[in-house]
Structure 1
């Protein structure tokens, strides 16, 4: 009887200890047995490695729910449908989105809800979707995993080029380069005095150039003054040429006006010239013929007067003498 009683006591103590530990775990963990939740749906386009039923759902790092179910969309095998339960007191806005992330180095996945503004409307179910759907985006880690094969290929190429660069031939060339550098440095050290002399000569040349530049300064000023004078003369010549061009333009206008007047006069005289050509020219020809005949007669009379004026004035005198006798 005593042995059986001890078993009952130990069993009762273990049960009380378990219940007490469970109560303490619930109390320290902040688990609410009367907590109300709301269902939401998240559709991921890629893999959901590390995510399982019961994985936490967080909003900006704060636990707000858990994953209740994970399954493949029967209509599209590229889509993973994840059902979550979120605390009913946590507002889920329309501008929020879900990202799959991994916790530490363990690789355990959880869902991080990000985004959301105070002025945005809450996400509500629609007619074709009784459960509200939170949009999903790719996380930085998933992008790294997606680009990991490309990075690995590039690393392979880089390693191959490094191995090629570190070949025996290049190693020998590098050793020869170091030997040549050592030789050059030794030669430079041996000829340091000559190099110093060259540097001193260069410094002297620079000083000479500085003095020459100082002497060239006044010459440049004089040249600038000369250029200014030439520029002023050119401006004066431009003004005179402009005035001459104006005078020539006026003379051209006057010549054009005179030519127009002459053209008008010729136009007015053209009918008279035409009449003169048709009739007056013939009459003038007749006049010249008659004038020539008149001049011939006058010439003949003048010759006769010159040869015998008395005969011209008194006629034939021989006949008068015979009459008196």
Structure 2
């Protein structure tokens, strides 16, 4: 038996086994590459940092190929062209999304293909090489947004620095003012507590007052609800009708007032001239000697003759006086048909008549003393002419008043009817309102605090009553 081994043969056999092992492992590793592969071109916008040749291509997270080449786009420099070799059996559609993905925090990139519409045709079944445009991944959007945010933050910080540098003194003054204010608050902490307590009390008072105001508003609403709206509408309609009647009769009242003012002016002028004449007559009577009066009595015959010569003038005066009396009679009949509201006017007329009677008596007494003066023919004629003119003026006034009497009477009748009743109702309501106001003022004078705190609502009864 041979005791020495052949080391050369052993070494060759070992090398052969190692080569066979490596070949088997390589054959196992290349088993997946037996499937047919097809090329796909993907265009990425912007940077593809982290993606390299030989990087993985995944379809919904499953490896289906690798990156065979990376190159820039000669037509548009913004894009990068990536040539991919992928499994020809994957369902690559026209709307499939392609994006650049990264594995964890290593920064190694890979191409991720997602989904697609099943009804669309497969791009890999076409003869030409399919081309897709990649979309930005979430990481790319995040990095882009982060860059924009950092850029804006840098710009904002630069502006803040400029503002601080420009307004450094103002900021220091503001800080010192804040320190002064906080120190004042610290020194007046007790007063602030008192102020807050007072404010809390005032808020409580306002709360109670608001509750009472709510109760008062409820009572007011119930009171308004109890009032019949028809009565209010009737009152408003009556007031409106009364105002319309007054407005329609305003022109007539203006005419009446103008006529009355003209008549009053004539009466004033006549009374003034009469007063002047009476004063002159008194002076004249006092200065007349009784012997002269006897002579004047003896001259009555002459005066009678002068009256006979003036009989035509006297007849004219009497006829005009009759016409004036007829007009006055018509006016008195019209006034007698009016209501009691004209009692005041009648009373004033009676007083005026009594005064006129007294004046007539005085004139009668004076006429005897004036006979001597009237004995003169020219003086008598002048007095008769003045009396004629006065009678004509009175007749003109009476005719004007008679032509307006019906209009005045109808207006006064309307006013004395429904208008007076409406006025009486308004006056009674005003009296009731005044009584309520007096009662409220009396209660407020007795207890002023009731305006704020409401007072004591419990009535106090005296047992003695």
Same fold (TM over 0.5): yes
Deviations 1:51-87 (A, max 9, x none): 2221111122222221122223444444433221221
1:183 CA displacement:
4.1
Distance 1:88 1:72 in 2: 25
Q: Secondary structure at the match of 1:47?
A: coil
Partner of 1:123: 123
Deviations 1:82-140 (A, max 9, x none): 221221221111221322233332222211112402222222566xx721222332333
1:18 CA displacement:
4.3
Shift of the 145–194 alpha-carbon distance from structure 1 to 2, 3 Å rule, reads closer
Equivalent residues in 2 for 1:1-325, closer than 5 Å: 4-5=8-9, 7-8=11-12, 11-12=15-16, 14-15=18-19, 18-19=22-23, 26=29, 32-123=32-123, 130-146=128-144, 150-161=148-159, 163=161, 170=171, 173-174=174-175, 177=178, 180-181=181-182, 183-185=184-186, 187-189=188-190, 191-193=192-194, 195-224=196-225, 226=227, 228-229=229-230, 233=234
Q: Whose helix proportion is higher, 1 or 2?
A: 2
Q: Which runs of 5+ in 1 are unaligned?
A: 241-325
Shift of the 93–112 alpha-carbon distance from structure 1 to 2, 3 Å rule, reads same
Distance 1:177 1:105 in 2: 49
1:33 CA displacement:
3.5
Deviations 1:218-259 (A, max 9, x none): 11332355484477659999xx9xxxxxxxxxxxxxxxxxxx
Q: Secondary structure at the match of 1:137?
A: coil
1:20 CA displacement:
6.2
Q: Secondary structure at the match of 1:33?
A: helix
Q: Whose strand proportion is higher, 1 or 2?
A: 1
1:5 CA displacement:
4.9
Distance 1:16 1:174 in 2: 85
Deviations 1:175-223 (A, max 9, x none): 7535633542552345524532442243123213321331232113323
Distance 2:197 2:33 in 1: 90
Shift of the 23–213 alpha-carbon distance from structure 1 to 2, 3 Å rule, reads same
Deviations 1:142-185 (A, max 9, x none): 34455555433212123335556877764774475356335425
1:9 CA displacement:
5.6
Contact kept, 8 Å, 2:88 with 2:124, in 1: the verdict is no
Partner of 2:427: none
Distance 1:15 1:227 in 2: 120
Distance 1:9 1:230 in 2: 133
Contact kept, 8 Å, 1:125 with 1:132, in 2: the verdict is no
Shift of the 209–35 alpha-carbon distance from structure 1 to 2, 3 Å rule, reads same
Contact kept, 8 Å, 2:38 with 2:124, in 1: the verdict is no
Distance 1:172 1:3 in 2: 98
Q: Does 31-40 or 2-11 show the bigger shift?
A: 2-11
Aligned CA-pair RMSD:
3.9
**Alignment length, in residue pairs?**
232
Q: Secondary structure at the match of 1:42?
A: strand
Distance 1:81 1:41 in 2: 7
